[in-house]
Structure 1
Amino acid sequence: MVRDLLRPVPLGIYFLSFAVGVVGALVLPTFSVFLAKELGVRPLLVGIPYTGLALASIGYNQLVGHWSDKLNDRRPLVAGFCLVGLLSCAIFALTREYWLVVLSAVGLFSLGMVAHSQMLAYSLDYAERQLPVARIPLFNAIVRAQIAIAWVAGPPAGFLLASYYGFSIMYWVAGGLFALVGLTSLKLLPRLAPSSTNSEPAAGESAAEGETQAPVLDAQARRSLFFCLVAFSLMWCVNNAYLISLPLHLDNNLGIGTEWVGWIMGTAALLEVPVMLAAGVMGARINLMVMVRLAGIAGFVLYAGVLLSDQLWHLFALQIFNAIFIGVLAGLGVSVIQALLPGRSGSASALYTNSTHVGNLLSSVQVALVADFFGYQSVFVVSIVIVLLAMVAFTGVRIKR
């Protein structure tokens, strides 16, 4: 089974997923520090770009995800969006005007990161057309593991580049990775054969006879999808609030240098890789919702632990729970949406990605308001409550095996 998943076509998917993941791992953890320290803005203004990023990403992903399902080839979309991402990183590197940075983040960087969701949609297309159904969760987990591997090196590299060479160099490196993915995607991702849902009817056939319609969702499936998206959004909310707040919490409240944040996040990402792979294997044998609820418990322990921790080693130890939380959520989350939306790869990818963007939107409001009035440590108190709400929402999800 593993040998089948390492054939030449998946290797291109794995490498490019890794490269796109490195871009996010360089830019996203350091962006709050860039705004607070380099641009010198207050917590409320730190939250504004994250709010705009989330709103723009939701719109972009939903429109592009729906439109891309009608296309036979997603590769030009990946290349084009990467070039837009390169432009946004160039602006970050060259300007220190707050509102220009905000406009670039909202209008350009969010569009550039649509390349990530299109890479995910491409991998779903490949899995549905080339792999047995039982192997799809493991394949999805391996693809997501590339992003976890990227986060092993990305945050430490981002904080080290920013600390020793400046944010401009860090953003030029991120832009170079965008360019690499954009220029090599057409070469490393072979064109897939059209799916039955996109194929033209044969001569003499009606459209209804020549197309395979995606299954219509019944009321229970729609309800499960709704609760699932709500729960995922809440879980991604607390994760993004953690990424935004942890560097400033360590610096402002614990007196720990921000360069340690990169190592903390890299440790979590390193631990996430085996968790993702194990989740992918177990996802074919155990109900997916059991695994996802386990992730929620780990998230609760993580944020309660961060709230109570006052030593650096405590934070490193807590990354075991962070790895379980993100490893299962990221490794199996798209498989849960795919199970609820069979035959709709682009829509499933867009909805899953948009759950992360809705979470980012909620987290930006959470951080901006809570940190501005009560401090960054209080953000983790709210995160504990939000995780509990997500666990309640998951009780309304039912997946047909």
Structure 2
Amino acid sequence: MNSFLHAIKQHTKTTFAIQQFPITMVINVFLGISFAFVLPYNSLFAIDEVGMSNKTFGIFMLVSSICGIVFSTYIAKLSDRLPNRGFILAMCAIAGAVGYLGFAFSRNFYVLLFVSSLFLGIASSTFSQVFAIGREILGRSTVPSTQIPLYMNILRTIFALSWTLGPAIAAFVLLYLGFTGLFVVAATCNVIVAIISLLFLKSKQENQTATTSQANIPLTKIVFQPFIFLNLIAFTFISVANTLSTMNMAQFVTKELGGTEKDIGIIFSIPPVFEIPFMLGFGYLATKIISDKLIRLGVFIACIYFILLSFAAETWHIFIVQILSAAYISITSGVAITYFQDFLPHMPGTATNLYSNSNKVGNMLGFVLFGFIADGFGYRSVYVTCALFAIMSFVLLLVLIKMKRAKFDNIQGSEAEAV
């Protein structure tokens, strides 16, 4: 126990000693708050405040998500070519501020669709850029490569911590200042991110030749490498399962199990309590074993979680299994970032964006599938579907064990030609 506490103390000291890493952590706090203020209340704003129908809101989210994928993919490639990633992060944050101000002061559907598709589409790159910068900073530091997953998970934990506190604070802001105040706070957070990025984040210097040569490789050549492509599908499946589960939970609890709104609040409050220690714990574990094994463990836990949910007969059953939700999310949204960045070590922006886009595609598929499954087969069947997606993801990861990961021959050959 003493050695464990000593390790925590040492890693904490190292975290704040890494040049620019604490700055990235501060940026992540404000970025996390802006996300936590907006995302939980999106449907409430669109349906109750703006007057969209469920169908219209679905179209709104679908179009916005597609634009976000397109913009973030282009920006990720651009950021891997240019020497100043902090400037790109600042520009994306400014776009986010403009977008949220549009939401604060407009209630016109078409204006909001334009603002969401363009400005918030550009701003969707902020998450990928922050974690790309974090990886870049760690790569320049004296931190051993085997310990990078731990510090990346610390960075992810800061984002999760903001999400734990953000929605509760947002509820008070919404109560007293309405949606206008909610989006103004989110815009302010993005302005702060932009200012800190411009003032305190330095340009990357070393390995610029390797970075540029790899960044010039067409994205399709990267995505369709068998190992990367199968990983993208596997993580998309997990994202589909997670989205379906989140959308279904309230309906399942109230209509299938006879639960109350209080039960729903308890269910959604349990995972954040465990996610932070799990993220730190799994991050530390990632320094001891290869991340592939942890990813498989996380997806296996997801399989068990969704199977148990499909058999839940009382609300207290869900209370217990929510701990498993925290465990698998801690791995598939924490260790997974470093796992993807290891694919393309000189392209952290593109690598992180691949992970982020797999989540976005999964979200879109989840939005589309939920209505068909719930209306056609019932709310319990949604969790059976979640389990099937998680199992398919786990099978794909087992297939990947037999595939060579260390080098991607086509990418390496393209690098040689580029140089």
TM-score range, shorter-chain basis? 0.7 to 0.9
Among 54, 57, 64, the alignment partner of 2:68 is 57
Task: Name the structure 1 match of 2:242.
Answer: 239
Q: Answer yes or no: is the 8 Å Cα contact 1:304–1:380 preserved in 2.
A: yes
Q: Answer yes or no: is the 8 Å Cα contact 1:84–1:108 preserved in 2.
A: yes
Task: Name the structure 2 match of 1:5.
Answer: 15
- State the distance in 2 between where 1:111 and 1:260 align: 37
Q: How does 1:91-130 map to 2 (within 5 A)?
A: 91-130=102-141
Superposition TM-score, scaled by structure 2 size? 0.81
- State the distance in 1 between where 2:132 and 2:400 align: 23
CA RMSD between the two structures:
3.2
Task: Name the structure 2 match of 1:166.
Answer: 178
Shift of 1:345: 1.6
Shift of 1:293: 1.8
> Which letter maps to 2:100?
C
For structure 1, which segment, 353-362 or 119-128, has the greater mean C-alpha deviation from structure 2 after superposition?
A: 353-362
Superposition TM-score, scaled by structure 1 size? 0.84
- State the distance in 2 between where 1:149 and 1:353 align: 19
1:143 counterpart = 2:147: no
SS at match of 1:340: coil
Task: Name the structure 2 match of 1:381.
Answer: 384
Among 272, 281, 302, the alignment partner of 2:305 is 302
SS at match of 1:341: coil
Q: How does 1:343-358 map to 2 (within 5 A)?
A: 343-358=346-361
> Which letter maps to 1:132?
P
Give the 3 Å change call, closer, same or farther, for CA 319–141 of structure 1 in structure 2: same
- State the distance in 1 between where 2:73 and 2:395 align: 26
- State the distance in 2 between where 1:261 and 1:276 align: 24
> Which letter maps to 1:229?
L
Among 168, 174, 190, the alignment partner of 1:178 is 190
Shift of 1:228: 0.8
- State the distance in 1 between where 2:64 and 2:383 align: 22
For structure 1, which segment, 118-127 or 32-41, has the greater mean C-alpha deviation from structure 2 after superposition?
A: 32-41
Q: Answer yes or no: is the 8 Å Cα contact 1:78–1:185 preserved in 2.
A: yes
Shift of 1:193: 4.0
Shift of 1:289: 2.1
For structure 1, which segment, 241-250 or 379-388, has the greater mean C-alpha deviation from structure 2 after superposition?
A: 241-250
Shift of 1:248: 5.7
**Residue-pair matches, total:** 388
Q: Answer yes or no: is the 8 Å Cα contact 1:151–1:265 preserved in 2.
A: no
Give the 3 Å change call, closer, same or farther, for CA 40–309 of structure 1 in structure 2: farther
Task: Name the structure 1 match of 2:227.
Answer: 224
Q: Answer yes or no: is the 8 Å Cα contact 1:43–1:367 preserved in 2.
A: no
Q: Deviations over 1:187-237 (max 9, x none)?
A: 3x430441223489xxxxxxxxxx8868x9x99x93211111111111122
- State the distance in 1 between where 2:337 and 2:204 align: 22
> Which letter maps to 1:386?
F
Q: How does 1:1-400 map to 2 (within 5 A)?
A: 2=11, 3-7=13-17, 9-130=20-141, 131-159=143-171, 161-162=173-174, 166-187=178-199, 189-198=200-209, 222-247=225-250, 256-257=260-261, 264-309=267-312, 313-371=316-374, 378-398=381-401, 399-400=405-406
Q: Answer yes or no: is the 8 Å Cα contact 2:305–2:321 preserved in 1.
A: yes
Unaligned runs of 5+ in 2: 1-9, 408-419
For structure 1, which segment, 7-16 or 162-171, has the greater mean C-alpha deviation from structure 2 after superposition?
A: 162-171
Q: Deviations over 1:276-333 (max 9, x none)?
A: 1111111122232221122123223433444555755444433311111110111111
Give the 3 Å change call, closer, same or farther, for CA 180–342 of structure 1 in structure 2: closer
Unaligned runs of 5+ in 1: 201-210
- State the distance in 2 between where 1:280 and 1:380 align: 28
- State the distance in 2 between where 1:224 and 1:360 align: 22
Q: Deviations over 1:216-268 (max 9, x none)?
A: 9x99x9321111111111112222333444456556765633x8766644432
Give the 3 Å change call, closer, same or farther, for CA 123–298 of structure 1 in structure 2: same
- State the distance in 2 between where 1:149 and 1:225 align: 30
Q: Answer yes or no: is the 8 Å Cα contact 2:76–2:350 preserved in 1.
A: yes
- State the distance in 2 between where 1:338 and 1:112 align: 21
